[in-house]
């Protein structure tokens, strides 16, 4: 690592899905600004994120969001040590807006560019929320697009223990929410409805992946809910929506918690962190917290604003690339299927 | 007045620099669709070759669309980022106009064709209009006869036939439209040669310069306010509005 005598200030940009975000972060931990322009209202009209519309909105908003983040931080662009941007994984159209704008900034200023992995960003949100957190720890990243159980060996060193074989957890929430008439976005709607329901009212299967201890499968659980709804409909039984929501949520949470618990045990870890949009889910937080207490592991979870997509987490992840001297060229491209640990 | 121009709306990635009407660089590459990887390195190379201090650039001109949605946005987002960093405005140039501007001084109508898929082309009709004193140098005006639009080839052919003048076609829509044109066209027509028939950063720069000469700062917008022109809704928006008008119809 470089001998860093001065503070490192990074401007970070995130546009991998439906939030246009920019942030100024010092030394990977101190957030000076965290501007997020959400498009959720538009995509709610269509029941999910429409990539072409998201790309258009990012294009409209990107410079304003960057400008606001600098103003809020009270810093000038010239004062930045690096410009960081999410280059994958995510939706290619939206990713390209952040990447292109970041390259335009880097070209015009000569400030070095750092391409950041979106999931590494989510994991790094924990470094912001808990300034004393250091690797190694296990991290479960759960969002609308991702479900990854990751062993964080060191800063920027990751081993994927498990990932979803089909739907991401958040995606399953969206689909079930649509079926039971709760609408989009599914995660928060199911979380809310569940508070009125009985999580043990209906027993949905806990999805397992044969031959893989840590992988996830949520499509079977989602189908079980659909079957339950169809059967009830055919029998003329009215469906208790809060019960279905709570029971489905419980099934998902059980699987996530048990996989995380197994990893803590197998690797003898003392720390466990949650990350990603679904980490804002109340039942998941509670379940993980209880499990960690049982296993004697310290539990970390960023506040909701750092769980959903934001650029501060990208600025944090970029800092650890900066100290290693990992910079990107002006030919940086969006890589929608970028894998963790890939450069 | 120094104008840095960017073109990425179609098959060509390009950048150019025009200094008070003098073209100092024009760098265009038509190779696959790799604008995301090629455009900014090309701009950087041009900057190095010209020993260009970006603080001396007054505005960034850009082909504002229509075009391939993704390519268009790569150019636009790059231009916006650079304009923000340089604290300079953007001069938006309609893509089809800039393609037509490759040709000069002809008496024929100029009709660019860009392949817009779905049996349509992005097109428009342009001419060089002579003033009263047609021998005087510079008394030729680039004129938009039909503003850029997205329509089937048959529709633009019909429009051109009705005007009864010869036509020069150009653009990446030519190869896919040639057979149709052979059947549809009733007026004399021809195709521009290779060095004139594609999007070109120098044409964007040069047309932006002509706007500036005519309108001054009125041709400029801030990076924040600038939006590309797609000429088409996103497919989901299209379907959504069709469903809405259908249900409104049912309500009636």
d(CA A256, CA A253): 5
pLDDT of residue B237: 87
pLDDT band at B136 (very low <50, low <70, confident <90, very high): low
* A88 backbone dihedrals φ, ψ, rounded to 5°: 160, 165
Residues A265 and A145 in one domain: yes
Residues A233 and A261 in one domain: yes
Q: Is residue A2 part of a domain?
A: no
Q: Give contacts of B77 with chain A, Cβ < 8 Å.
A: 58-59, 62, 96-101, 104
Q: Check B85 against A105: CB less than 8 A apart.
A: yes
Nearest chain B residue to A332, by CA = B37
Q: Check B224 against A63: CB less than 8 A apart.
A: yes
pLDDT tens for A109-140 read 999 999 999 999 999 999 999 999 999 999 99
- For residue B228, pLDDT over 70 is answered with yes
Q: Is residue A333 part of a domain?
A: no
Residues A51 and A95 in one domain: yes
Å between B236 CA and nearest CA of chain A? 7
Mean pLDDT of B218-239: 95
- For residue B69, pLDDT over 80 is answered with yes
Q: Give contacts of B36 with chain A, Cβ < 8 Å.
A: 96, 99-100, 333-334
Q: Is residue A342 part of a domain?
A: no
Residues A221 and A284 in one domain: yes
Residues A197 and A240 in one domain: yes
pLDDT of residue A267: 95
Nearest chain A residue to B56, by CA = A108
Q: Which of A330-339, B209-218, B230-239 has the lowest mean pLDDT?
A: B230-239
CATH code, A160:
3.30.420.40
Per-residue burial over B117-140, b if 16 or more Cβ lie within 10 Å, else e, is eeebbbbbbbbbeeeeeeeeeeeb
Q: Give contacts of A109 with chain B, Cβ < 8 Å.
A: 85
- Sheet containing B140-151: give its strands across: B140-151, B121-130, B109-115, B167-170, B189-191
Total tally of structural domains belonging to chain A:
2
- For residue B50, pLDDT over 70 is answered with yes
Nearest-by-Cβ selection for A330 from B44, B75, B234: B44
CA of B63: how far to CAs of A144, B43, B60, in Å?
Answer: 35, 15, 10
Å between A72 CA and nearest CA of chain B? 16
Can you say whether residue B32 is alpha, beta or left, with left for phi > 0 and alpha for psi between -120 and 50 degrees?
A: left
| Sign of the CA dihedral with A271 first, then A281, A204, and A218 last | negative
Residues A99 and A143 in one domain: no
Residues A56 and A145 in one domain: no
Q: Is residue A1 part of a domain?
A: no
Residues A267 and A184 in one domain: yes
- What distance, in Å, lies between the first and last C-alpha atoms of chain B? 58
Q: Is residue A274 part of a domain?
A: yes
Å between A101 CA and nearest CA of chain B? 4
pLDDT of residue B21: 93
Q: Check A96 against B84: CB less than 8 A apart.
A: no
Find the domain containing A294 and state its range. Answer: 134-301
pLDDT tens for B202-217 read 999 999 999 999 999 9
Q: Is residue A157 part of a domain?
A: yes
pLDDT of residue B206: 98
d(CA A63, CA A20): 10
Q: Give contacts of B236 with chain A, Cβ < 8 Å.
A: 46, 50, 52-53
pLDDT of residue A5: 67
Mean pLDDT of A91-114: 98
Could you say which DSSP state residue A279 is in?
G
pLDDT of residue A305: 93
Q: Which two tokens stand for residue A285?
A: 């937080």
d(CA A177, CA A187): 8
Q: Which two tokens stand for residue A329?
A: 């060229």
Q: Which two tokens stand for residue A304?
A: 């909701």
Q: Does B228 touch chain A (CB under 8 A)?
A: yes
Q: Which of A271, A273, A268 is nearest to A285 (CA)?
A: A273
Higher-pLDDT residue of B135, B132: B132
Q: Does B62 touch chain A (CB under 8 A)?
A: no
Residue at token pair 């009733």: B186
Q: Is residue A4 part of a domain?
A: no
pLDDT tens for A253-277 read 999 999 999 999 999 999 999 999 9
Mean pLDDT of A19-47: 94
Q: Which of A109, A18, A29, A34 is nearest to A71 (CA)?
A: A34
Residues A212 and A317 in one domain: no
* B25 backbone dihedrals φ, ψ, rounded to 5°: -155, 145
- For residue A3, pLDDT over 60 is answered with no
Q: Is residue A186 part of a domain?
A: yes
pLDDT band at A188 (very low <50, low <70, confident <90, very high): very high
Q: Does B29 touch chain A (CB under 8 A)?
A: no
| CATH number of the structural domain B103-191 | 3.30.420.40
Mean pLDDT of A299-319: 96
Q: Which of B4, B81, B82 to mutate: most A Cβ within 10 Å?
A: B81
Spatial contact of A125 and A275, defined as CB atoms under 8 Å apart:
yes
Per-residue burial over A312-341, b if 16 or more Cβ lie within 10 Å, else e, is bbbbbbbbbbbbeeeebebebbbbbebebe
Domain boundaries, given as residue ranges, for chain B: 2-95+199-234, 103-191
pLDDT tens for A61-93 read 999 999 999 999 999 999 999 999 999 999 999
Nearest-by-Cβ selection for A97 from B43, B77, B237: B77
Asked: is B2-95+199-234 a CATH 3.90.190.20 domain? The reply is no
Average pLDDT, chain B: 94
Spatial contact of A110 and A327, defined as CB atoms under 8 Å apart:
no
Pairing state of beta strands B109-115 and B167-170? parallel
Residue B92 CB partners (closer than 8 Å, separation 6+): B61, B62, B64, B221, B226, B229
Residue at token pair 């490192």: A8
Q: Give contacts of A108 with chain B, Cβ < 8 Å.
A: 54, 81-82, 85-86
Spatial contact of A97 and A65, defined as CB atoms under 8 Å apart:
no
Q: Give contacts of B74 with chain A, Cβ < 8 Å.
A: 96, 100
Residue B146 CB partners (closer than 8 Å, separation 6+): B124, B125, B159
Nearest-by-Cβ selection for B80 from A46, A62, A333: A62
Mean pLDDT of A40-45: 88
Residues A139 and A268 in one domain: yes
Q: Output the DSSP codes for A155-197.
A: TTEEEEEEEBSSS-HHHHHHHHHHHTT--SSHHHHHHHHHTTS
pLDDT of residue A1: 47
Pairing state of beta strands B2-7 and A82-88? unpaired
Q: Give contacts of B237 with chain A, Cβ < 8 Å.
A: 50, 53
Nearest chain A residue to B244, by CA = A45
Å between A27 CA and nearest CA of chain B? 23
Nearest-by-Cβ selection for B82 from A52, A92, A104: A104
* A86 backbone dihedrals φ, ψ, rounded to 5°: -70, 125
Pairing state of beta strands A137-142 and A147-154? antiparallel
CA atoms within 13 A on the CB side of A283: 25
Q: Check B81 against A104: CB less than 8 A apart.
A: yes
Q: How many CB pairs below 8 Å do chains A and B form together?
A: 116
Q: C-alpha dihedral over B44, B46, B52, B56, to 10 degrees?
A: -90
Residues A205 and A235 in one domain: yes
Q: Which two tokens stand for residue B92?
A: 């938006």
Residues A262 and A246 in one domain: yes
- For residue B132, pLDDT over 70 is answered with no
* Strand partners of residue A147: A142
d(CA A314, CA A310): 7
């Amino acid at each position: 690592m470089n001998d860093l005598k001065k503070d490192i200030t990074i401007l970070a940009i995130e546009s991998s899905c439906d939030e246009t975000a920019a942030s100024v972060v010092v030394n990977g931990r101190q957030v000076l600004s965290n501007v997020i322009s959400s498009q959720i209202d538009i995509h709610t009209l269509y029941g999910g994120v429409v990539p072409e519309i998201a790309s258009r909105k990012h294009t409209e908003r990107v410079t304003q969001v960057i400008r606001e983040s600098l103003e809020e931080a009270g810093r000038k662009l010239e004062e930045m040590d690096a410009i960081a941007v999410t280059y994958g994984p995510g939706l290619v159209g939206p990713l390209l807006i952040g990447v292109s704008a970041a390259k335009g900034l880097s070209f015009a200023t000569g400030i070095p560019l750092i391409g950041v992995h979106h999931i590494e960003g989510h994991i790094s949100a924990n470094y912001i929320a808990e300034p004393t957190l250091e690797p190694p720890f296990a991290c479960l990243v759960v969002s609308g697009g991702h479900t990854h159980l990751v062993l964080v060996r060191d800063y920027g060193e990751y081993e994927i223990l498990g990932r979803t074989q089909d739907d991401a957890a958040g995606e399953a929430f969206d689909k079930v929410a649509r079926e039971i008439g709760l609408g989009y976005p599914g995660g928060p709607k199911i979380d809310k409805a569940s508070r009125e329901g009985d999580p043990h009212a209906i027993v949905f299967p806990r999805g397992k992946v044969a031959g893989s201890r840590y992988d996830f499968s949520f499509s079977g659980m989602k189908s079980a809910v659909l079957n339950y709804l169809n059967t009830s409909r055919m029998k003329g039984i009215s469906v208790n929506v809060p019960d279905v929501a709570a029971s489905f949520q419980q099934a998902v949470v059980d699987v996530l918690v048990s996989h995380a618990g197994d990893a803590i045990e197998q690797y003898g870890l003392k720390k466990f962190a949650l990350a990603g949009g679904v980490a804002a889910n109340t039942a998941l937080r509670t379940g993980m917290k209880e499990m960690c207490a049982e296993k004697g592991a310290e539990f970390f979870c960023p506040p909701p604003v750092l769980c959903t997509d934001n650029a501060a987490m990208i600025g944090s992840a970029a800092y650890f690339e900066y100290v290693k001297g990992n910079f990107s060229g002006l030919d940086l491209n969006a890589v929608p299927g970028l894998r963790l640990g890939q450069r | 007045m120094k104008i840095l121009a960017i073109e990425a709306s179609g098959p060509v990635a390009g950048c150019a620099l025009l200094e008070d009407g003098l073209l100092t660089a024009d760098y265009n590459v038509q190779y696959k669709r790799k604008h995301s990887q090629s455009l900014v390195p090309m701009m950087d190379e041009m900057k190095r070759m010209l020993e260009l201090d970006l603080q001396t650039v007054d505005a960034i001109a850009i082909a504002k669309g229509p075009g391939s949605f993704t390519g268009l946005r790569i150019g636009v987002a790059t231009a916006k980022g650079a304009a923000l960093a340089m604290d300079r405005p953007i001069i938006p140039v309609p893509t089809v106009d800039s393609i037509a501007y490759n040709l000069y001084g002809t008496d024929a109508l100029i009709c660019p064709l860009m392949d817009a898929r779905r049996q349509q082309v992005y097109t428009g009709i342009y001419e060089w209009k002579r003033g009263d004193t047609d021998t005087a140098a510079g008394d030729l005006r680039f004129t938009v006869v039909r503003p850029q639009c997205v329509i089937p080839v048959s529709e633009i052919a019909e429009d051109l036939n009705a005007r009864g003048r010869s036509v020069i076609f150009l653009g990446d829509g030519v190869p896919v439209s040639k057979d149709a044109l052979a059947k549809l066209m009733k007026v004399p027509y021809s195709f521009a040669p290779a060095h004139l028939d594609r999007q070109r950063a120098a044409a964007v720069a040069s047309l932006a310069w002509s706007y500036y000469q005519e309108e001054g700062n009125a041709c400029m917008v801030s990076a924040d306010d600038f939006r590309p022109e797609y000429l088409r809704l996103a497919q989901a928006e299209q379907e959504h509005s069709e469903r809405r008008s259908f249900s409104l119809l049912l309500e009636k």
